[in-house]
Structure 1
């Protein structure tokens, strides 16, 4: 079946039967229609890719950009969603400029820096768990641990004062909006966010500290204002929202099969591979990655005209039997595990070393402190977060 026969005019994102389950359509699309036409929340059309090799190829291809004024709009509001926002367009999207930008930022995300951060991350997790225990069971693990921890870490790295940490949740939710907020709410939150970031950047220029924003504001080659503000925004949103949600999903996945949790309690050396497998197995990974094809190109054996918007489903690609043995099973010792949760190529997730460090640290501390942890509700009572570009659970009720 070719992608334009219109047999699959699916609404995308595709709803799922259970909070931790993939939509049945994924397997069907991978088998029969790996290049499918879909309708986005904005009403615009795009082409959905669901197979591992195709998704990897597109994400790694430097010819395809993340966004363009001509690309399909993702969300129904005026800005068209996070990939079309002013923040996204203020950052260099491709070529030399993009590589230069990445190099400057990635110096802050090296494995060495992450190893140095780890004891602090574990201490923070311990403190949050102390607070959760003091409040008593049942608790919402997402609110008690999943959200505060990554916010604290990224704010510390950027040099955001502690008193301001709680303001970011709403700002980043509106930026990741697909269908949840009105234009007016999105606009208001975005101007507040930009105003806040601009003031913070001005402070760092006046009185630099030992943090990422200060270094970018000074250094041999100070970053221009709009780019620096957008960089701060991008790192705050990316640095907390995805990891915060992933902490909740990872723990839910591990507790949903009791044997999974117990095998980790018995053998902590599995923590590293278990984190990778949770990232691969996550069937609620959010929107995926859009790519814009500026001129005619062949992808997945299909010729595309210039002006096509592709959507890469990393969640589906990570369940592709062609790429992973027993792809539908969670194997906590799986290695190698070349999943695409962090993307691939020049735009692969800049903060993946940080995300891995946070996920491993949280899991280590939970296993040590709460070996008897369990879900306080049945798996069927877990609910997905709807209407945002990132996948997550509304809450993760636990007891111990």
Structure 2
């Protein structure tokens, strides 16, 4: 299959994926070319295995919405997503549940992880964000927004939600980093981290059963009282892994990227200073406009399906590029423009369907709260380096920036 790229060039080779970015905040040119000429494109993954890449909005939404197709990538003929044997976060844990088991799990977690719970967390999140910003300011400018605010806040929030003690939060951050790596860690390191994480959560669940608190794990345990120990263990492990991935790395990286995007166009920051009502739509537009989202969402096709006019056989692994779909001109007018007033904005940053992001309400709350705090406390905030000099993090499933140097 020939793969066109923007500019009309054609490649006979199967490209390596993820694609290289021309800049940390710029999309790869392949996206536009594939949407126009090859919406179902062969790619080579970090493991060396081949898969198919979907880049159009309607196609990505179709596959993600279909409950038959899951992240259960341990089938013998499924492509390995990562360079390590296990496939990392895509090969194990709650992400691989499917069918009735997954529906029951989501229903149960949904009863405990409610919008009311997230709303109740917002004042604590705002207080923590304010503390982190003050600490960053005290250290003097220029400062790195990623290490100062972006990474500490989400891990604090997810640990607060799960009832994890402050002293264990650095370990949580490491486990998350390891499970989301495509190439940075060897199989032995990944296996050890997964085993440590599982053992920690089992012990934490035991402690919460003995002394319940107001956290999510305690509430889940009270809801499943009477289930056998193995089912309870699976529930807690799946929930904690799903929330750690959804609530830590993705949000941590997005805080840095969102701020960099808004500061890269000074008129955007000034518009927010003039009208705080734009905070909510600005966060949604940053999620849509993100050119550095990472890998995308893999799906294993358990049976034949037609996508973009092509019949894809069962046993195929596809990768859904939500970021490319979010720039599809067929769905979004002026898709290449960051419009802080865009409404409606049905982006796919959190996925869609039965496997949509479990932690999206928490992520939205964190992003909106961080932006509010930065605007209030650092109205003169600006990038300390040109946007073109920002560098992305390498070797991870989730896209992010190494540093976002800022001054005020």
Same fold (TM over 0.5): yes
SS in 1 for 2:327: coil
Query: What is the aligned partner in structure 1 of residue 25 from structure 2?
Result: 20
Query: What is the aligned partner in structure 2 of residue 265 from structure 1?
Result: 273
- Tell me if the contact between 1:67 and 1:290 (Cα under 8 Å) persists in the aligned partners: no
1:37 and 2:64 are equivalent in the alignment:
no
Specify which of 176, 179, 182 is matched with residue 178 of structure 1.
182
1:26 CA displacement: 0.4
SS in 2 for 1:274: helix
1:208 CA displacement: 1.3
Give matches, 1:277-292, under 5 Å: 277-292=285-300
1:220 CA displacement: 4.7
SS in 1 for 2:406: strand
* CA distance in structure 1 between the aligned counterparts of 2:144 and 2:69, rounded to whole angstroms: 40
1:324 CA displacement: 0.3
SS in 1 for 2:319: strand
Q: Which moved more, 1:64-73 or 1:52-61?
A: 64-73
Query: What is the aligned partner in structure 2 of residue 321 from structure 1?
Result: 329
SS in 2 for 1:17: coil
1:219 CA displacement: 2.3
- Tell me if the contact between 2:64 and 2:353 (Cα under 8 Å) persists in the aligned partners: yes
1:156 and 2:160 are equivalent in the alignment:
yes
Q: What is the TM-score when the length of structure 2 is the normalising length?
A: 0.94
Query: What is the aligned partner in structure 2 of residue 75 from structure 1?
Result: 82
1:139 CA displacement: 0.8
- Tell me if the contact between 2:322 and 2:348 (Cα under 8 Å) persists in the aligned partners: yes
Runs of 4+ in 1 over 3 A off after TM superposition: 5-8, 86-89, 220-223
1:359 and 2:363 are equivalent in the alignment:
no
SS in 2 for 1:74: coil
Q: Which moved more, 1:317-326 or 1:216-225?
A: 216-225
Query: What is the aligned partner in structure 2 of residue 95 from structure 1?
Result: 99
1:246 CA displacement: 0.4
* CA distance in structure 1 between the aligned counterparts of 2:329 and 2:148, rounded to whole angstroms: 36
Query: What is the aligned partner in structure 1 of residue 198 from structure 2?
Result: 194
- Tell me if the contact between 1:273 and 1:335 (Cα under 8 Å) persists in the aligned partners: yes
SS in 2 for 1:100: helix
- Tell me if the contact between 2:93 and 2:237 (Cα under 8 Å) persists in the aligned partners: no
Give matches, 1:167-246, under 5 Å: 167-221=171-225, 222=227, 223-246=231-254
- Tell me if the contact between 2:15 and 2:43 (Cα under 8 Å) persists in the aligned partners: yes
SS in 2 for 1:11: coil
SS in 2 for 1:224: helix
1:2 CA displacement: 7.6
* CA distance in structure 1 between the aligned counterparts of 2:128 and 2:150, rounded to whole angstroms: 12
Query: What is the aligned partner in structure 1 of residue 304 from structure 2?
Result: 296
1:95 CA displacement: 2.0
1:299 CA displacement: 1.4
SS in 2 for 1:10: coil
Specify which of 53, 60, 63 is matched with residue 65 of structure 2.
60
SS in 1 for 2:52: strand
1:18-41 Cα distance to aligned partner (Å, 9 max, x none): 000000010000011111000000
* CA distance in structure 1 between the aligned counterparts of 2:71 and 2:385, rounded to whole angstroms: 39
User: What runs of 5+ residues in structure 2 fail to find an aligned partner?
Assistant: 4-9
1:120-152 Cα distance to aligned partner (Å, 9 max, x none): 111111111111111111111011111111111
Gap change, CA 1:87 and 1:175, over 3 Å in 2? farther
Specify which of 310, 324, 327 is matched with residue 318 of structure 2.
310
1:317-347 Cα distance to aligned partner (Å, 9 max, x none): 0011111000000000000000000001111
- Tell me if the contact between 1:109 and 1:353 (Cα under 8 Å) persists in the aligned partners: no
Gap change, CA 1:220 and 1:18, over 3 Å in 2? closer
Query: What is the aligned partner in structure 2 of residue 136 from structure 1?
Result: 140
1:193-242 Cα distance to aligned partner (Å, 9 max, x none): 12211211111122111111112223254552133223223322321110
- Tell me if the contact between 1:8 and 1:37 (Cα under 8 Å) persists in the aligned partners: no
User: Matched residue pairs, number?
Assistant: 396
Q: What is the TM-score when the length of structure 1 is the normalising length?
A: 0.95
- Tell me if the contact between 2:295 and 2:399 (Cα under 8 Å) persists in the aligned partners: yes
- Tell me if the contact between 2:93 and 2:241 (Cα under 8 Å) persists in the aligned partners: no
1:114 CA displacement: 2.2
